[in-house]
Structure 1
Amino acid sequence: MADGKRQSIAGKIATPKVGPTKDVADADSNLYKAVGARIKITCAPYNNVLEGTLFTICNVTNAIAINTAPAPPNPAASLSSQPGDYHIIPFAHIISFELIGAGERVAGAGPGFDGALPSIAKVDVDAIRAREEQTIREMKKKDAQKGKGVSKEAQEIFDAISRTLPTRWADAQIVVNDAVLVLPPYTVESIKAPAGKEQSVAQVRKIMEQFFQRKKSAGNRAPVATPIAPRKGG
């Protein structure tokens, strides 16, 4: 009888195509009903077989998460105390699955997420999108801080100024405080600014003078000789 049940459940095979299918994603599917149970799943493209607890199934990301950590040695132990070794598998990679053990569930709960143990919280999609947008903004800001087609020294000068003052690139020009320009070849003499911005010019000049002084001091520093150990045997 148990074998018949397994064959019936294993009969639901996910069609290998992108996007959720009824056999995979909806509340009537056997895979959805297996959330919280131990399953054996075969995955494309190399027919890899994973065995573990089906943690969740998501028709937003079109994927499942399976915990392949061994079941607790004590059958009475709660699944919430089970160690985690999670794998994310897209629907399109699922070839077949088989139910090999009933999962721990809330008494009287129906199939799916609500009765699964450990409990599965809803994913805050808005928070995820906000985090994604913030990451994109930070990446764009970081990329904007890198000069295009400029020398290594020009970038070092930009970085030195930007640590103190608002700085951005405008093609090959360094723009400071939206007023002062540092033009190629990025010397103190190449600082330009309109009338009335003398204070900003003085700040940029001081930073650049300190930068060149540090660079000159580093270049004049004598190299440290590495001691050579005496040869054995004379």
Structure 2
Amino acid sequence: MADTKRQSIVGKIATPKVHSAKDVIDGDAALYKAVGARIKITCAPHNNVLEGTLFTTCNITNAIAINTAPAPPNPAAPLSSQPGDYHIIPFAHILQFELVGPGERVPESGAGFDGALPSIAKVDLDALKQREEQTIRDMKKRDAQKGKGVTKEAQEIFDVFARTLPTRWHGSQIVVNDAVLIDSPYNLDSLKAPAGKEQSVDRVRKILDNHYQRKKATVSNRAPVATPIAPRKGG
């Protein structure tokens, strides 16, 4: 088991020129072939030593991922069942590495990713982009449902309607079903609707009335707080 110096990788990282995937892998063949094996690496700047299973090497982020969780106590157990404790190490921080165990690989497979266990699938960039866009849409939707400069009680009423009906903010007004406006102080007398949509007020009024009734009942059912009695003077 010979130590392999990482100076060639450091040189590549320091160069602003973008290398192709093949260039980086060819120049780093020893580490690439170790994917799936157990290795020991020494890292800058404090010569920290990590030992674990080399999960992947990435020439896009110029880093490796190593799983430092202990190997399963049963040698026959597959590494895919091994718990995860992953560390991301930039190439430039790797001073040297040592192969300490071959690890588990697909029988008769070549070196690198294809034979690694657990298997390493290609990243679906289109799916990641769609997830990112959906997350942004969800965040914007949640932000739109938060009133700006309104009281906690007003937001509570908004949330009550938003659970079952299309509800949005228009300034400090709550708009339900694109028909009924609820103005501050958001009570039963605050409801109004434009001409032709008055029938929508009855349903909104019922929901708002039920909300206040439940809130009133909750307050009434609370146990009274005992008032401490001051000690009498003179004993």
- Give deviations 1:60-93, integer Å, cap 9, x for gaps: 4554321212235566x36435512231405267
**Residue 55 in 1 paired to residue 51 in 2?**
no
Q: 2 CA distance for matches of 1:9 and 1:74?
A: 32
Which is further off, 149-158 or 178-187? 178-187
Change (3 A) 1:42 1:180: farther
Q: Superposed, which structure 2 residues align to 1:101-180 within 5 Å?
A: 101=100, 102-180=102-180
Residues 32 and 222 (structure 1 numbering): CA distance in 2 closer, same or farther, change over 3 Å?
closer
* Aligned residue identity for 1:162: A
Secondary structure of residue in 2 paired with 1:206 = helix
**Structure 1 residue 52 displacement after superposition:** 0.6
Question: Could you tell me how far apart the structure 1 residues matched to 2:152 and 2:183 are?
Answer: 15
CA RMSD of aligned residues (A): 3.3
Q: Which residue of the partner structure matches residue 85 of structure 1?
A: 84
Partner SS state of residue 181, structure 2: strand
Corresponding position of 2:35: 35
Stretch of structure 1 that moved more, 143-152 or 109-118: 109-118
Equivalent position SS for 1:118: coil
What corresponds to 1:232 in structure 2?
none
Percent sequence identity over matched residues? 60
Name stretches of at least 5 consecutive residues in structure 1 with no aligned partner.
227-234
Q: Which residue of 2 aligns with 1:99?
A: 98
- Confirm or deny that 1:26 pairs with 2:34: no
Aligned twin of 1:229: none
Q: Where do residues 176-215 of structure 1 align in structure 2 (5 Å cutoff)?
A: 176-215=176-215
- Inter-CA distance 222–67: structure 2 relative to 1 (3 Å threshold): closer
Q: 1:10: Cα distance to partner?
A: 4.9
- Aligned position for 1:223: 223
Shift of the alpha carbon at 1:45? 5.7
1:7 — aligned with what? 3
The answer (yes or no) to whether the contact 1:40–1:98 under 8 Å persists in 2 is yes
- Output the CA distance in 1 between the equivalents of 2:138 and 2:187: 30
Contact 2:72 2:79 in 1 (8 A): no
* TM-score with structure 1 setting the length: 0.77
Q: Which runs of 5+ in 2 are unaligned?
A: 227-235
Corresponding pairs, count? 221
Distance 2:79 2:158 in 1: 52
| Residue aligned with 1:216, SS | helix
Q: What letter corresponds to residue 157 of structure 2 in structure 1?
A: I
